[in-house]
Amino acid sequence: MTKKLLLASTVLAGMTAAASAADLSRRAPPPVFTPVPVFTWTGFYAGLESVYTFSDRQRITTLGNTAATVDNVNVGRRPPVTSIESDGFGNVGGGAGYNYQFTPGSGFVVGVAANVDWTDIQKRRGVFGVGNLVAPGIPNPSNFRQSLEYLGTATGKLGYAFDRFLVYGTGGFAFGEVQYDAKFYTPAFALQFAGRYQGLDTGYVYGGGVEYAIPTDSFLNAFAFAKYLGLKYDAVTIKAEYLHYDLGSRNVLVGPVIPSANSYTSRFRTEGSIVKVGFNYKFGGY
């Protein structure tokens, strides 16, 4: 009887140990810690933008090239100095670039960028000078026209990122297609002198901006239409930027419409400001 009790106890103990071991084997493994990805501005980007351009009183200086035209400028028949102010919204623009952030999260960011914006702004300026000896009471009209078809930039960038918010300064090379026209009329409004230049002028640009990377769970990502085209990117950013551009000055010969030895030279200056608002797709991030 005692042997039977001992045998039963041993079997029961074995069954209990086996059940405990089986229960332990069914327990879930301890959770593995996965760090949250830290955002970085490092990577290539490309995007579109809309612009507003306004001038800073672009100066036009006129000189006479002969004794007669020098006298006309000196007495005010032709304007020695005038200026043109112009502004307008551009049609569309865009660009691409590369950023490098030294420390993910918050830290300094350097980069390069290239942009082209279709500005399509133009302005005319009419000036009435004093009359000439033949008709002293009737003014001599002069008309100037200045336009900037597009503005391109190739710039460097230095900024500081506060996680998804970036503040930066920028500056570099600028170029654009300009057109300058000068027309001088007689008091009877007959065209007497005319000059034109159309071509590429170059200069410099500087300014700054802010940019924000939209979180992936933000409702604004619903407007990131590139994902519907199958474009692979890791962030969409929105930006606002201000730049001051200076394309320098250009001399335009204002020659006679009817053959004559007389002529003028009008010197046009192109400078102004441009405000950009747009978005970028960022590639290569976390």
- Using CA atoms, how far apart are residues 93 and 86, in angstroms rounded to an integer? 19
Q: CB–CB of 88/133 below 8 Å?
A: no
Please name the amino acid found at residue 39: F
Q: Which residue has the tokens 């002529």?
A: 263
- pLDDT tens, position by position, 189-222: 899 999 999 999 999 999 999 999 987 666 556 5
Is 76 within the bounds of a domain? yes
Give me the residues paired with residue 151 across strands.
117, 176
- pLDDT tens, position by position, 126-150: 999 887 666 666 888 999 999 999 9
Q: Break the chain down into helix, strand, coil percent, rounded to 5.
A: 15, 60, 25
Q: CB–CB of 176/131 below 8 Å?
A: no
Q: Which residue has the tokens 């640009």?
A: 205
pLDDT at position 28 over 70: no
What's residue 100's pLDDT?
96
Tokens of 105: 């999260």
CA atoms in the 13 A half-sphere facing the CB of 114: 1
Is 254 within the bounds of a domain? yes
- pLDDT tens, position by position, 156-180: 999 999 999 999 999 999 999 999 9
What's residue 285's pLDDT?
52
Is 23 within the bounds of a domain? no
Residue 64 lies in domain: 40-283
Q: CB–CB of 212/162 below 8 Å?
A: no
What's residue 29's pLDDT?
63
CATH label of the domain that carries residue 197? 2.40.160.20
Is 60 within the bounds of a domain? yes
Is 4 within the bounds of a domain? no
Is 17 within the bounds of a domain? no
Q: CB–CB of 153/96 below 8 Å?
A: no
| Residue 219 CB coordination number (10 Å) | 8
pTM of the predicted model, to two decimals?
Answer: 0.80
Number of structural domains in the chain: 1
- Using CA atoms, how far apart are residues 126 and 167, in angstroms rounded to an integer? 42
Please name the amino acid found at residue 25: S
Residue 255's pLDDT band (boundaries 50, 70, 90)?
Answer: very high
Is 191 within the bounds of a domain? yes
What's residue 51's pLDDT?
93
pLDDT at position 263 over 80: yes
- 271 alpha carbon, distance to own chain's centre: 15
Tokens of 145: 């026209």
- pLDDT tens, position by position, 50-66: 999 988 778 999 999 99
Is 277 within the bounds of a domain? yes
